[in-house]
Amino acid sequence: MEFRIADTFTDSLARLTAQEQKAAKTTAFDLQLDPTSNGLSFHKLDRAKDSSFWSVRVNADIRIIVHRTAASILLVYVDHHDDAYKWAERRKIERHPTTGAMQLVEVRERVEEVEIFKPKDTPVAPAPAAPSATRLFDNLRKFELMAFGVPEEWVSDVRSATEDTLFDIIEHLPQEAQEALLKLAVGEKPQPPEPAPALADPFAHPDAQRRFRVLTNAEELKQALDYPWDKWAVFLHPAQAELVERSFSGPARVSGSAGTGKTIVALHRAVYLARINSDATVLLTTFSKALANSLRLKLTSLAGNEPQISRRVVVKAISAVGYDLHAERFGQPQIASPSLIRSLITKAASEVEGHRFSPQFLVGEWDDVVDAWQLRSSEAYRDVSRLGRKTRIGGKQREALWAIFERVRAGLAERGVVTWSDVFGRLTDSLTPTALRPYDFAVIDEAQDLGVAEARFFAALAGERSDGLFFAGDLGQRIFQQPFSWKALGLDVRGRSYTLRINYRTSHQIRLHADRLLPATVSDVDGNTEGRRGTVSMFDGPPPLVMECRDAEHECGAVASWIKDRLNQGCSPGEIGVFVRSGLELKRARAAVKAAGARAVELSEKVEMEDGAVAISTMHFAKGLEFRSVAVMACDDDVIPQSERIEAVADDADLEEVYNTERHLLYVACTRARDHLLVTGVAPVSEFVDDFLKGR
């Protein structure tokens, strides 16, 4: 007998108390062990529209709803007695007549209109006609809507949907129908899937596998119940699954705006590679330790019941990859601090005459050109393209500059310290064609923030393996690195770059406003373009709130009141995040959380979120996180874009890059929110806030 679990079951299980969950899990294990056991109390739901719905008694009040046939048991819902029965009475499980996918369908409630007859001598004035809203799908016929997975009984409602009623209607529909209708509503023309053969297993359909999962043993069930996973971590969208399992002829990259599931695709890709290559070691890496820890937890929930797989997926931050490999091959590296490098540059500049370069320019030139590209000679510096550096310099100027940077390199060598680019450069040089690779495959998340040296290292790591590298990232979230040519380093993803369009994490309203901070399309140096047009969010929500405050005290009170409202409406402290531009503004975040009567935890590389505390951090540490509610504070005119960065620009032409990355930072912070977003600042507020409201 097949034993299945629906995503609706895990969702409902997570809403129970800890004690209720424990009891429900025990009953679920008993069901899987022996569904015919006399100890199980089955009760047929006579009022349910689906004759295969039964309830199973957990205790005096909790009931599990199962779909029971002679060949299978499917766990579909769990709740208190009356609520569980009401839920089941409004649902049925059936094979869609057009697509062939098994669906959990909400039964359409029908309200019969009763005509009230009035005496003929009582005139009734006709009601004024209300202006009719445009129907979004009135031009589509029944069979066309059903081809997208719309259940037959919901076709009339869908055809009557307007912009105001769309989200009210689609929340009753299966996910594949929701996605198709949202794309149609924004002008896209999605292709309906090929109908499954008449005799095909409806549970094997890709759309069905997004909501129903077969569990083959007790260990799989334990994983499913112990980890209240984000359902997107397990129920992959068919388009995502196709990318996960595709065989590529070279490096591949998946992109998409915040919340479209890039990280989940990367996670599944790593597991898939380990599964089909039984002797391979797969590296799953990202730019920070905090995000690596998050990936490690997701890996446990996804592949924890397959130890032979999870052991061969190594999860590390990119810096940890470099440090550990360098320590293993050459000894532990001593990393030079940014302050030491700045002091060496200042000292060297004072010793070289005949130049007029500012300290800010010299530090940028070192970081973005000399150190990034691992230049070791005046000839190499003379010939480098300096892509991303707007200030033009001639041959004589380069000679003077190299005299400075040569002294800096000598100073680092004298102290026995190296930069991170040195670490990855030395590792790259060691990866000769015949050298043994430490990893067979590498999956890199948040790839938009790769530096030159790291990108070159991964190109060398792949060697001759055509599908050895898989990148996931969003150019609109690039906040750390200057742009450079991946193609020049051997990472040509042209023709193997794919964009995800379905946003699962952020409400329609929040995504719409956040996207106004960025251009409609963003291109990299190699001409690969990532567009936000056509991206749709899967759910509706309240519009973001924006407040221009009189002073910091007014802002503190406003944010505190907002946090209190979120807590009073059922949001736990751990589901709230407060972000600011830099460490200088963190005290404003602390004060607001304290005024709300909550406890704050400041996130960093070493400190992670806590369930009982509101998370506060700079926008940089917001990357990769998500919260039900987010407040972005201190969006003052001199805070974002950060005045220090603007003042440090050595050439007016470089201002564009500063403004771009500052916009990206605000975009990252705002798109951490799922349901509620508050943006505040002290007057005058940042010009970006006006863009957020009205667009550029």
Residue with tokens 């295969």: 52
How many whole angstroms separate alpha carbon 234 and alpha carbon 582? 35
Contacts of 537 (CB under 8 A, 6+ apart): 182, 259, 503, 506, 507, 508, 510, 511
Confirm if 269 and 196 have CB atoms less than 8 A apart. Answer: no
Q: Return d(Cα 79, Cα 16) in angstroms, integer.
A: 7
Is there a binding annotation on residue 260?
Answer: yes
Task: Indicate the SS3 state at residue 247.
Answer: coil
Give the residue carrying structure tokens 């002797």.
Answer: 279
Q: Residue 206, Cβ neighbours under 10 Å: how many?
A: 17
Could you tell me which residues are beta bridge partners of residue 629? Answer: 576, 676
Q: Which two tokens stand for residue 195?
A: 């109908």
User: Does the bond joining 202 to the residue before it have cis omega, within 30 degrees of 0?
Assistant: no
User: Alpha-carbon dihedral of residues 270, 275, 281, 282, nearest 10 degrees?
Assistant: 0
261 is in an annotated binding site: yes
CA geometry: angle 682, 554, 688, nearest 5 deg: 25
Closest CA to 8 of 95, 103, 114, 110: 103
**Annotated binding residue 259:** yes
User: Are 588 and 627 in contact, with CB atoms under 8 Å apart?
Assistant: no
Q: Does the N-terminal peptide bond of residue 544 adopt cis geometry, omega within 30 degrees of 0?
A: no
Q: Residue 551 half-sphere exposure, CB side, CA atoms within 13 Å?
A: 1
User: Distance (Å, rounded) from C-alpha 223 to C-alpha 221?
Assistant: 5
Q: What are phi and psi of 93, to 5 degrees?
A: -110, 125
Q: What's the one-letter identity of residue 661?
A: T
Q: Does 92 show up as a binding residue in the annotation?
A: no
DSSP 318-332: HHHHHHHHHHHHT--
134 assigned binding-site residue: no
Residue identified by tokens 């000292």 is: 347
How far out from the chain centre does Cα 258 lie?
A: 5
The rounded distance, in Å, linking the Cα atoms of 345 and 332 is 25
Residue 53 zone, left/alpha/beta (φ > 0; ψ -120 to 50; rest)? beta
Locus of tokens 């065989």: 247
Other CB atoms within 10 Å distance of the CB of residue 62 = 21
497-499/62-68 β-pairing: unpaired
d(C-alpha 209, C-alpha 221), whole Å: 16
The count of C-alpha atoms lying within 13 angstroms of the C-alpha of 1, restricted to the half-sphere facing its C-beta, is: 15
Kindly give the pairing relationship between strand 42-44 and strand 614-618.
Answer: unpaired
For residue 131, the Cα-to-chain-centroid distance in whole angstroms is 40
Distance CA 23, CA 225 (A): 12
Distances (CA, A) of 673 to 179, 288, 469, 643: 21, 20, 30, 26
Distance CA 181, CA 346 (A): 60
Indicate the annotated binding residues: 256-263
Indicate the annotated binding residues for ATP: 256-263
